[in-house]
Amino acid sequence: MAPGGLFDYDAEVAPHNRRFREVAAVGAQDRVLDVGCGTGQSTREAARAAAAGSVLGVDLSAPALEQARRLTEDEGLGNVAYLRADAAAHEFAQAHFDLCLSRFGTMFFPDPVAAFTNLAHALRPAARLVLLVWQDRERNEWATAVDEAITRTPPPPRPGEDPFALADPATTERILTTAGFTDVAFTDVHEPVYYGPDAAVAYDMVLSLRRPQQLLAHADAGDEARRRLRALLGARERGEGVYFDSRAWLVTAERRAARVR
């Protein structure tokens, strides 16, 4: 667990983050918008790269942002600001940012076309968009194995809580194109996710997540479900930690340039 009881997403997706950072290629003078920034790892990395620019991290979680501000202050980064807001609807300065980043933070928009249209308005023409999103649920062992350990017939995610909402490239490309983006491209990211140094830590981490909490609340046999979950995590424990297979997309696009009349 991270400080304050927050799930340690930074450790979970460290290999994904390395790929994400490389593709983001933040410039020294970039003005960056980081959507769903959480505790701010991607925000701080962008800020170090954009030494003559600035970064705004946006998230809905007050505890995550509190930790992000503390870590940013500890690192002495003066070109970072954080905002607690719904990035799907917040009125950002128009045509202001050079780059919009999001590391697993854009899959939960109730109306993705409206949300990405709002983000497009915040970007200057030809500004870049770089997203990490999960591929299909069936290609992500961390989701299928945990769900099925708790209940043999897991229900579909609730509306607005589906981490795989942008898994289909054709659907995502259509959303982004409609929202004002062009040159949409997808790169496969096949990396493991890390759930902790041992099965006991992994168990606590899993139980801090909303989806397992919901499934356990409705599991037919709570004690038996917990036993199966512990057994699963024990089986995935290796000498260096507990890992599950995963697949994600690195999505890149550009804000469509304004038409010349």
Q: What is the pLDDT of residues 205-239, one digit of tens each?
A: 999 888 898 888 876 667 889 999 999 999 999 88
- Contact call for residues 167 and 161 (beta carbons, < 8 A): no
Q: In terms of residue numbers, what domain contains 73? A: 9-137+158-194+243-255
Distance CA 8, CA 2 (A): 5
Domain-embedded: residue 230: no
- Contact call for residues 182 and 256 (beta carbons, < 8 A): yes
Domain-embedded: residue 261: no
Check residue 258 and give its pLDDT.
Answer: 67
pLDDT value at 241 more than 80: yes
Count of CB atoms within 10 A of residue 223's CB?
Answer: 8
Domain-embedded: residue 166: yes
What ranges in 50-198 are assigned the alpha helix state H? 62-74, 112-122, 141-150, 169-179
Q: Which has more pLDDT, 161 or 104?
A: 104
183-195 residue pLDDT tens: 999 999 999 999 9
Check residue 90 and give its pLDDT.
Answer: 98
Identity at 237, one-letter amino acid code:
E
Task: Please tell me the total count of domains within the chain.
Answer: 1
Q: How confident is the model at residue 156 (pLDDT cuts 50, 70, 90)?
A: confident
Domain-embedded: residue 226: no
Q: Output the domain CATH number for residue 72.
A: 3.40.50.150
Check residue 140 and give its pLDDT.
Answer: 96
Domain-embedded: residue 71: yes
110-128 residue pLDDT tens: 999 999 999 999 999 999 9
- Contact call for residues 79 and 49 (beta carbons, < 8 A): no
Which structure tokens are listed for 193? 């996710």
Mapped onto helix, strand or coil, the DSSP state of residue 239 is coil
Mapped onto helix, strand or coil, the DSSP state of residue 159 is coil
Average pLDDT over residues 131-158: 91
Distance CA 103, CA 31 (A): 17
Domain-embedded: residue 215: no
23-58 burial by CB neighbour count: b if 16+ within 10 A, else e? Answer: bbebbeebbbbbbbbbbbbbbbbbbebbeebbbbbb
Check residue 261 and give its pLDDT.
Answer: 47
Domain-embedded: residue 23: yes
pLDDT value at 158 more than 90: no
Domain-embedded: residue 46: yes
